[in-house]
Amino acid sequence: MKNFLFCLMLLAGFAAANTCTEAWFEINAYNYIYTKDHAHLDSAYYNDESTEKYIYNKEHLDYLITKEGGEIHTINFYWNSDESVLSKKGTEYFGIIKYSEDTLFITLTNYHDGVVHEQQTAKITNKTLDAQYPDGPNGEIAFEKIYFQNDSLVKSITYNYGTDSAEVHKTIIVSDEQDDFKCKEYGEKEIKNFSLEYIKNDNGYAIKRHNEKYSREYFMIYPTGTTAIHKRRAPVKISPKARYFDLLGRYKFTK
């Protein structure tokens, strides 16, 4: 739900989120993408069971540290270079980013032991996200679109995209009429409803997304003039369920 050698040229200044729906779009669209105009993901927590910490090197996502139970894993990311930078050990991600006016194009390729496993693409503007990624064991593709409709945010996912069995699932995120820092996410079919709360802080903001069974909290930070360069951690063995990571900062367990 997701730090490249950026040209850094979207807007002239911070496009800080002012409402819960704007913040939720920014988390989904920009996620771990480092630009001078938008916050980027610092960390995420799920049901007090797992955590994710995002480490940046200047203008890139350098690596991701995940902790679940007693297991800690590191996943390395490489941007706008060539495949020769890969260690060819374990799971790694290689990304390319391009700009065309106010639109950002991203291609993210997942390698395992140096072999291409899957590829994802995304197109991002200040108000829309279009993403395409593998979703299933037999080459199925999902197409995801997120966009504003009046004051609400709509997320549409087409499963089995491009086939006769394509199926569309939609959720809509609606602002609280009394409080711009709160919103509700309404789903259809088996998709459950969620409450979201937008919380500003000195360095950025957080969003809490929860229902009676699920709780996840995201922390976003705004870029500063300089970012400390962190030492790269060596690749470690990744458990199979942690190998599939998509552009929106989500692990995929469908494989």
- Helix, strand, or coil here: 242? helix
Q: Are the CB atoms for 94 and 116 separated by under 8 Å? A: no
Please give the pLDDT value at position 183.
96
Tokens for 14, please give them: 């911070």
CA 216/CA 52 separation, integer angstroms? 11
Residue with token string 């049901």 = 47
Continuous H helices in the chain:
20-29
159, two tokens: 């499963």
* Domain edges within the chain: 20-128+203-242
- Per-residue pLDDT tens digits for 10-27: 322 345 678 999 999 999
- Span 97-109, pLDDT tens digits: 998 988 999 999 9
